[in-house]
Chains A and B, each alone.
Chain A
Amino acid sequence: MSVSATTAAGRPVRPFWNPLLAGTVLGLVLLLTFVWTGHGLGATGASTRLAAWLGNAVAPAATQANEYLGAMVEDGANPLPSWISWQVIGVAIGALVAAFMGGRLRVQLDGAKSVGSGKRIATALVGGLLSGFGARVAAGCTSGLGLSGAATLGIAAFVFLATFFASGLIVHRIVKGL
């Protein structure tokens, strides 16, 4: 069922960092981000800007009139250049370098072996859709609201993390039963 199996030029697969090390380094990166920029790390700020940009390219009138996305494309503004966009580009490069160095770069449709390609594409799309919608309701995602907000001891962050994990535990069981 595997769609593709391109492994990175025979590099040996290195184990993941242990969670205590990874968490400590991640905490230090988050701390650096706070002292450097005044805010934490994020993700959906960039996908929201991408949505505004795409909307403006495909349906400019509707996007500019939209109450939520309109402000980002007002007066011909390009919503893409922004700190969060650079940060997500950085995430992409950092992940690519780490995956390559660790021998873990492999082109695949991950999950297709267990549920089939069609179903895997559907679950990825539906999961992304729920996440994208939810992150707009909460004005943040696991990184921007959960991780970064909790470091500042923000109430919203702990509420988000609690319902995030509760929902993940329950929905995982439901999905497995289907």
Chain B
Amino acid sequence: MTFPMNDVGMLSGLVCGFLFGFVLENAGFGSPAKLTAQFSLRDWSVFKVMFTAIVVAATGLYVFEQLGWASVDALFVPTSLVMASAIGGLLVGGGFAIGGYCPGTSVVGLFSGRIDALVFIGGLVLGTFVFAGLYGPAIESVMAMWEVDTGDTLMDAYDIPQIALIVLLFAALIGVFYAGSWFERRGRGPVSADEAVAGAGSAS
């Protein structure tokens, strides 16, 4: 059997989603106090978890391809629209710092009992309406700016060997853990489950 299987039915959605939500909640990512503590550099869990996941998945895909199990070319890769990605990152990052969640973690927040996450999701839908209302040639032309013509992945666009990128990611991962743990020792340390359940702003 070769991958991907390209099964996009209900079962794969429910199973992958269940596991995704289960891990995110166990990582503490339903708590806006824990999530935004990354931006005060008190708690580096967001960087650590994301970076680790990226390295594990990227390495896995590389190994599968080397073994001939998978065709990585058949996977979805986002189009290299640099301007659109940069503006989107600025707004989603700003929204995260203000609202306490990103879109995926707001679902985790809501289903660990947080009413503010429901308000955030309402904001997501409103933001989509505002975007749809403004959508037209002007927004489209900005979103199309700075596309990398040579490819969508770092290896295609800049001719970097995939293994070199993975080694680089591993090095960055070690750096993130080292720097993160240093900051966490200097400050109050990661937000604990007790603090997260008590809610942001509780005396601790």
Contacts and interface: CB of A to CB of B under 8 A. Distances in A.
Interface of A: 1-4, 6-7, 13-17, 19-20, 22-44, 47-48, 50-51, 54-55, 66-69, 83-99, 102-115, 120-121, 123-143, 145-169, 171-172, 175-176
Interface string B165-199: 10000000000010000000000001011101101
B197 A106 contact: yes
B52 A26 contact: yes
B126 A128 contact: yes
Interface of B: 3-10, 12-28, 30-34, 36, 38-40, 44-45, 47-58, 60-61, 64, 70, 72, 74-82, 84-117, 119-133, 135-136, 139, 143, 148, 151-155, 157, 162, 165, 177, 190, 192-194, 196-197, 199-202
Given A87-B13, A90-B18, A131-B99, A98 B45 contact: no
B200 A139 contact: no
B37 to A, nearest CB: 10
A105 to B, nearest CB: 5
Contacts of B48: 19-20, 23
A155 B112 contact: no
B161 to A, nearest CB: 11
A69 B16 CA distance: 26
B100 A134 contact: no
B133 to A, nearest CB: 8
A138 B23 contact: no
6 contacts: A16-B45, A23-B53, A27-B55, A91-B18, A150-B54, A160-B86
A54 B122 CA distance: 11
B113 A105 contact: yes
Nearest to A157: B78
Instruction: Pick the 7 closest A-B CB pairs, nearest first.
Output: A127-B99, A128-B123, A90-B17, A138-B88, A132-B127, A23-B52, A114-B201
Given A37-B7, A110-B31, A110-B33, A132 B85 contact: no
A102 B52 contact: no
Nearest to B82: A159
Nearest to B133: A66
A144 to B, nearest CB: 8
A35 B60 CA distance: 10
Most B C-beta atoms less than 10 A away, residue of A29, A40, A95, A142: A95
Given A110-B100, A125-B126, A95 B107 contact: yes
A68 B132 contact: yes
Max chain B Cβ within 10 angstroms of own Cβ: one of A55, A87, A92, A168: A168
A67 B49 CA distance: 37
A51 B165 CA distance: 38
Contact of A156 (B54, B82, B99): B82
A99 B128 CA distance: 29
A108 B126 CA distance: 23
A26 B3 CA distance: 19
A165 B36 CA distance: 11
A28 B21 CA distance: 13
Contacts of A92: 17, 21, 107, 110-111
